[in-house]
Amino acid sequence: MQIQILKSKIHRVKITQAELHYVGSITIDPNLMEAANIIENEKVQIVNVNNGERLETYVIKGERGSGSVCLNGPAARKAQVGDVVIIISYASMEFEEAKNYKPVLVFPDQNNQLL
- pLDDT tens-place string over residues 2-15: 999 999 999 999 99
Catalytic site residue from 8, 25, 68, 89 = 25
Whether 84 and 13 have beta carbons less than 8 Å apart is answered as yes
Per-chain mean pLDDT for the chain: 97
**DSSP H or E run through 106:** strand 104-106
* 30 has a pLDDT exceeding 80: yes
Of 32, 42, 37, 39, the closest CA to residue 85 belongs to 32
Q: Considering the chain, what percentage of its residues have pLDDT values greater than 70?
A: 100
Model pLDDT, residue 24 = 76
101 is catalytic: no
Tally of domains in the chain: 1
* 23 has a pLDDT exceeding 90: no
Average pLDDT for 22-36: 94
Q: 53 in helix, strand or coil?
A: coil
Catalytic site residue from 8, 22, 58, 89 = 58
Tell whether 113 is covered by a domain: no
Model pLDDT, residue 5 = 98
Per-residue pLDDT tens over the stretch 78-114:
999 999 999 999 999 999 999 999 999 999 999 999 9
58 is catalytic: yes
Domain that holds residue 32: 2-106
Which CATH number does the domain housing residue 84 bear?
A: 2.40.40.20
- Give, in order, the Cα–Cα distances in Å from 13 to each of 4, 21, 28, 97, 99: 24, 22, 10, 30, 28
Model pLDDT, residue 11 = 98
* pTM score of the predicted model: 0.96
Rounded distance between C-alpha atoms, residue 16 and residue 80, angstroms? 8
- CA dihedral sign, ordered 81, 50, 91, 65: positive
Model pLDDT, residue 115 = 86
